[in-house]
Amino acid sequence: MLNREFSALKSPTFHILTVSKYPKMNKPTLILLLILTVFGCKKNVEQKNIANELRGNTFDMFSIEEKDTLTIEFKDSTYTVFEYSDRELPWRIATFDNNDILVFDNRLIAIKQIDDNSFEGLFISEKDYEIKIKKRKAKWGKELLNGIWIEEQHHALFFNDSTEKPPLPPAPPGVSIENFQYPPLYIIDKDSISTKYFYQESKSKINVNNTVEFIKMNLHSEFNKVEEQWEIKNLTDSIMIIDRTLERENEKFSFLKTKEKNIKLIKINR
């Protein structure tokens, strides 16, 4: 197929029209023909800057053939694939002869914009794949995240003073027993998240994507867990349901990533 296409490019066929071969036209017909010719010619439509269209937005990338979907956020010069909780990797747009190519982490996608919210492209690799890229819309307001959150399973224990609680473990040297906290709490304040558990506290910067669906962090929590990502599945002013990606040390002193699904958090007032 490619050979045939290149052969066609090497040997183009031109059709030259000679006016003398056609019958003489009257004036109205000639004017109509000129109008149709002008409007039928290819117009030089101003291209949108695809880099600006991608930057700062979150997209679903569909593989038409493989029926696979990835969720990707493009920042100034880096991108994140949320399904893999990946580190941020570089991306850019290369242009050749008015054709745009998305270059990201040594991968190539020939890309064109279809409308304000969607693109089509060809993923160029050992086997080429047609793809569609569609912008995701914001679901919730970022301000709903701010506050103190507790897992639903601990909610009754936190508020019910009649529930028998285990004796407090002794405080470490230099730490007051008043600093003990159980069950664990999460405190989100603008661009950071912290957690308090037992006599410990951990804090991390957070990166919330533009649709307020994913929160990336590096938060050390109880039982030697590091919370790397929350995927927000529902968010109101009183509840949040998340899938969270964790990394924890196993018995062989290596780190294993796991995902806990449908964790319900309840916002509390103190």
Residue range 203-262, pLDDT digits in tens: 999 999 999 999 999 999 887 889 999 999 999 999 999 999 998 866 565 668 889 999
Please indicate whether residue 33 or residue 77 has the higher confidence score (pLDDT). 77
In CATH terms, are 50-135 and 142-161+177-268 the same topology?
yes
Domain limits of the chain? 50-135, 142-161+177-268
Q: How far is CA 257 from CA 33, 109, 221, 244, 264, in A?
A: 68, 30, 14, 10, 20
Q: Which residue has the higher pLDDT, 64 or 261?
A: 261
Give residue-wise pLDDT tens across range 163-179: 666 677 888 888 888 88
The yes-or-no verdict on residue 39 having pLDDT over 70 is no
User: In the CATH scheme, what is the homologous superfamily, with its name and number, of domain 50-135?
Assistant: Protein of unknown function DUF4909 (2.40.128.570)
Domain 142-161+177-268: which CATH number of 2.40.10, 2.60.40, 1.20.120, 2.40.128? 2.40.128
- Of all residues in the chain, what percent carry a pLDDT higher than 90? 48
Task: Decide if pLDDT at 20 tops 50.
Answer: no
- Round the average pLDDT of the chain to a whole number and report it: 80
